[in-house]
């Protein structure tokens, strides 16, 4: 059943906040009708360090999005990042009937019970479950079921991807959103980016989406069409800028301009003549080569990919990534970054831009907008599943959870067992 209302996504990054507004089409994909963007202040490596500054940036981007779209934003899907984010895969289930000789048709309440059992409690004080993504279901031992509604059996089990984060950071992410906007759900930037840049085939075959933002790098592994692993590395494009500023003794704004204009994943292909005039802190000029700038950036990006490789090794899922790596985020616009990724990660790599999942103009077809556009695609898909003609399944009461967070009370817990790695 098509949705008749607009959907908004708010992507809160370290260097910028993007608010996109869309209308679902008859095909079920969102069509962007307006957007707003503001420079972010008050964030460091994906964490809020100045509440007022972040709130002002978000408010400015929301106002711009409302002006360009001609719509009033009353609810939104919001992205989150930061090294406080971690994940685990869980399993839990429910008996469908109390009588051993009876069979029961699976309904939405049964799915909710199974998902509740597959939502483990955080093991540390000060952490909250903020995202539970259903991966697959099992009915009477038959595994790999994506939609059990209407099936019959005695027992239903669910496998979920559970993401947790710092209670204080989650609460603050909700509170920086203008109070008149209801937060549907908080989604990791990596999961959102995967929605917009990874194809169905890639997610089925197994791929890793590497979203390199300004302050963090989000790593999301998809296998058999579902997310299997989430991690956030505390390095990103801003570290490349800082390295340029340190090595060349240049102001950060000057270093950022050099990075955007001259970064390259294959420094050997760049001019080695000292043809760039760089303004230093004392306003004097220093002449350097484009190759030097490229070498500085490439060295830091290699460090990031090595950290990604180590994370994939810890996940135990490297052997399942037949479709390779998909690079996105602002840093992925660097020429030659795919070749650098292939060299370090030892797998095929490509640069991903928002594509078929969303109807959008050319201005948004950049890796820098992957998470902002992807959260719209994610929200549209979940809301379509929640339409009256189809009972809600994947939402799992997230709006209620976030409303509870607004009241500074943690959500309830349920216990499930972790499945064995594939």
pLDDT of residue 396: 35
CATH classification code of 201-352? 3.30.420.40
Give the number of other Cβ atoms within 10 Å of residue 158's Cβ.
30
Whether residue 209 contacts residue 193, with contact meaning beta carbons closer than 8 Å, is answered with yes
Q: Locate tokens 């009461």: which residue?
A: 397
Q: What pLDDT does residue 360 have? A: 62
User: Rounded to 10 degrees, what is the CA torsion of 289, 290, 292, 293?
Assistant: 130
CA atoms within 13 A on the CB side of 221: 25
Q: What is the reported pLDDT for 25?
A: 76
The per-residue pLDDT for 356 is 57
CB atoms under 10 Å from CB of 311, counted, come to 18
Pairing type for strands 155-166 and 86-95 reads antiparallel
Q: Please, is 143 exposed, middle or buried when counting C-beta atoms within 10 Å of its C-beta (0-12, 13-18, 19+)?
A: exposed
CB distance 36 to 19 below 8 Å: yes
Tokens of 184: 């549907």
Q: What distance lies between CA 51 and its chain's CA centroid?
A: 21
CA distances from 205 to 63, 273, 312 (A): 41, 44, 16
Each residue's pLDDT, cut to its tens digit, for the chain (422 residues) gives 445 578 899 999 999 999 999 887 777 777 888 999 999 999 998 899 999 999 999 999 999 999 999 999 999 999 999 999 999 999 999 998 766 677 889 988 999 999 999 998 887 889 999 999 999 999 999 999 988 998 999 999 999 999 999 999 999 999 999 999 999 999 999 999 999 999 999 999 999 999 999 999 999 999 999 999 999 999 999 999 999 999 999 999 999 999 999 999 999 999 999 889 999 988 889 999 999 999 999 999 999 999 999 999 999 999 999 999 999 999 999 999 999 999 999 999 999 998 755 666 666 788 999 999 999 889 888 877 765 544 333 333 334 333 433 332 233 333 233 333 33
Taking the CB of residue 90, how many other CB atoms lie within 10 A of it? 24
């Amino acid at each position: 059943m098509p949705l008749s209302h607009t959907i908004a996504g708010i992507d809160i990054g370290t260097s910028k906040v993007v608010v996109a507004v869309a209308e679902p089409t008859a095909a079920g994909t969102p069509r962007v009708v307006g957007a707003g963007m503001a420079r972010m202040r008050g964030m460091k490596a994906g964490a809020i360090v100045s509440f007022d500054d972040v709130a002002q940036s978000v408010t400015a981007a929301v106002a711009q999005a409302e002006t360009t779209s001609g719509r009033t934003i009353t609810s939104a899907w919001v992205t989150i990042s930061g090294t406080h984010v971690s994940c685990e895969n869980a399993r839990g289930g429910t008996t469908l009937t109390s009588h051993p000789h009876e069979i029961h048709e699976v309904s939405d309440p049964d799915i909710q019970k199974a998902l509740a059992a597959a939502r483990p409690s955080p093991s540390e004080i000060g952490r909250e479950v903020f995202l539970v993504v259903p991966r697959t279901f099992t009915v009477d031992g038959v595994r790999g079921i994506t939609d059990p509604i209407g099936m019959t059996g005695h027992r239903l089990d669910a496998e979920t991807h559970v993401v947790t984060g710092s209670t204080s950071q989650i609460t603050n992410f909700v509170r920086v959103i203008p109070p008149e906007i209801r937060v549907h759900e908080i989604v990791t930037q990596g999961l959102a980016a995967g929605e917009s840049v990874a194809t169905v085939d890639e997610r089925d075959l197994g791929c890793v989406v590497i979203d390199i933002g300004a302050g963090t790098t989000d790593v999301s592994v998809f296998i058999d069409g579902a997310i299997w692993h989430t991690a956030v590395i505390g390095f990103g494009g801003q570290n490349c800028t800082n390295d340029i500023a340190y090595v060349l003794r240049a102001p950060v704004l000057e270093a950022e301009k050099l990075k955007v204009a001259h970064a390259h994943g294959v420094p050997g292909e760049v001019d080695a003549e000292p043809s760039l005039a760089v303004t230093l802190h004392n306003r004097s000029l220093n002449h350097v080569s484009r190759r030097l700038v490229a070498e500085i950036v490439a060295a830091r990006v290699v460090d990031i990919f090595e950290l990604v490789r180590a994370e994939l090794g810890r996940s135990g899922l490297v052997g399942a990534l037949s479709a390779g790596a998909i690079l996105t985020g602002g840093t992925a616009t660097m020429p030659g970054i795919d070749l650098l990724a292939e060299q370090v990660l030892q797998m095929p790599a490509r640069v991903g831009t928002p594509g078929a999942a969303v109807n959008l103009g050319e201005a948004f077809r950049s890796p820098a907008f992957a998470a902002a556009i992807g959260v719209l695609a994610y929200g549209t898909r979940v809301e379509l599943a929640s339409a009256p003609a189809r009972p809600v399944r994947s939402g799992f009461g997230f709006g209620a959870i976030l409303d509870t967070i607004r009241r500074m009370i943690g959500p309830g817990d349920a216990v499930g067992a972790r499945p064995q790695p594939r």
